[in-house]
Chain A
Amino acid sequence: MTDTAPAGTGTAGTEVAGPAPDRLDGVDLESWGLGTNNATGLTNNKLGMWLFLGSDCLLFGALISTYLLLRHRGEGIGPADVFDIPFTSVSSFVLLMSSMSMVFAVSAIARGDDQRLRLWLLVTALLGGTFIAGQVYEFTSFYREGLGYTTNLFSSAFYSLTGFHGVHVSVGIVMLMSLFVLSLTGRLKQDRAETVEIVGLYWHFVDIVWVLIFTIVYLIP
């Protein structure tokens, strides 16, 4: 056993003498989130995002199953009275296309193409903003038809589910715009491609949740 400071980056169960290198073959490991990599050889940032997304499945699972249990309970306005399927279909398509523009942003930074990166980040954020604008319009029109948050159990479950999703999309837009500003100020280069990929994972997750909501809530009344 040695008293030298362990680097903590060796294979599982071993200690390593001396500090671990923070650069290898010209790659800045810290900026890739690899500075604290473990025995798996995977980056902790990306693994952390996947863990978060796995746990977020439970949040949306709770909201969707609550909606299914409550949607026809109580009196008054129900799903069939307020849903505008053609309008929501367009919103869903917009969000789906934002997922595609996001993969182009990830692809652009992997190539080191900063201009395309900024273009696709902006397109993704605009498409996300369009989706949110559609949701605000939808909520407003429902409210004008008499469907408030506490009108009945259907309305509470519906607004909670779609509202939580809307908050996720809004947070995603903030992250996209942060990346856009970082890129504009020269602080988001090719060596930080994984940062964009991690934000992309979040954005795609928001999209797949809407794929479920659109079918289960809107199309199967």
Chain B
Amino acid sequence: MTVTHEGADTGYEAATDHAHHEHHPSDGLYWKVGAALGFVTLLEVGTYFVTDDPYSHELKWVLIIGLLVLMTLKFVVIVSYFMHVKFDNKLFRNVFVAGLVLAVGVYLAVLTSFQFWGDSYEADQNDETGFLAGEG
């Protein structure tokens, strides 16, 4: 089967169309996103100064969940705006998200298999005979 350059042109047109029409945010938007990220970082650091010992405080879980939410927010904003995922071809996003989801899934399974989430893991920390007790 002989094919003319029409087939090739489709690919090139898509590529050059992508190159010419890819929409990137303006510098003004980058300043706003940067300022928002700086503010969120200030909020995160602020939790450290809530009390002398925030993790013995009755609000411990509010602080931890709040920090995880702020961390996720910063992550998503940087990937969306600074890495242009919001404006770029979806294949790039899918490739990255595939690796991210795989990593999160695998290592949540690892942590679960070590009973990281339960009280038993906390109790094991003082187990001097445990294989992870710190002899090494």
A→B interface (CB under 8 Å): 1-2, 7, 9-11, 14-18, 20-21, 24-25, 27, 29, 32, 34, 37-43, 46-47, 50-51, 53-58, 60-62, 64-65, 68-70, 72-76, 85-86, 89, 92-93, 96-97, 99-100, 102-104, 106-107, 110, 152-153, 197, 200-201, 204-205, 207-208, 211-212, 214-216, 219-221
Contact = CB atoms under 8 A, between A and B. Distances in A.
8 contacts: A14-B1, A57-B103, A61-B107, A69-B132, A73-B133, A200-B82, A200-B83, A211-B75
Contact of A211 (B47, B74, B111, B135): B74
Given A18-B5, A47-B91, A65 B110 contact: yes
Contacts of A60: 103
Interface of B: 1-5, 7-8, 10-19, 24, 27, 30-31, 33-34, 37-38, 41, 44-45, 47-48, 55, 64, 67-68, 70-71, 74-75, 78-79, 81-84, 89, 91-92, 95-100, 102-104, 106-107, 110-111, 114, 116, 125, 130, 132-136
B96 A9 contact: no
Contacts of A215: 44, 67-68, 70-71
Given A42-B18, A100-B31, A219-B47, 18 more contacts: A2-B2, A10-B11, A14-B1, A14-B3, A37-B15, A46-B92, A50-B96, A53-B96, A57-B103, A61-B104, A65-B110, A73-B134, A96-B34, A152-B134, A212-B75, A219-B67, A220-B55, A220-B67
Given A24-B12, A92-B41, A107-B30, A212 B82 contact: no
A62 B102 CA distance: 11
Given A47-B91, A104-B30, A221 B55 contact: yes
Chain B interface main SS type: helix
A58 B30 contact: no
A202 to B, nearest CB: 10
Closest 10 CB pairs of A and B: A74-B134, A54-B99, A41-B14, A10-B7, A61-B103, A100-B34, A65-B107, A215-B71, A57-B103, A89-B45
Nearest to A71: B125
Chain A interface main SS type: helix
A15 B3 contact: yes
Contacts of B1: 1, 14-15
B19 A73 contact: no
A56 B22 CA distance: 26
B95 A47 contact: yes
Contacts of A21: 12
Contacts of A37: 11-12, 15
Given A37-B12, A41-B11, A153-B134, A72 B125 contact: yes
B78 A17 contact: no
Given A10-B3, A69-B114, A97-B34, A39 B11 contact: yes
Contacts of B97: 54
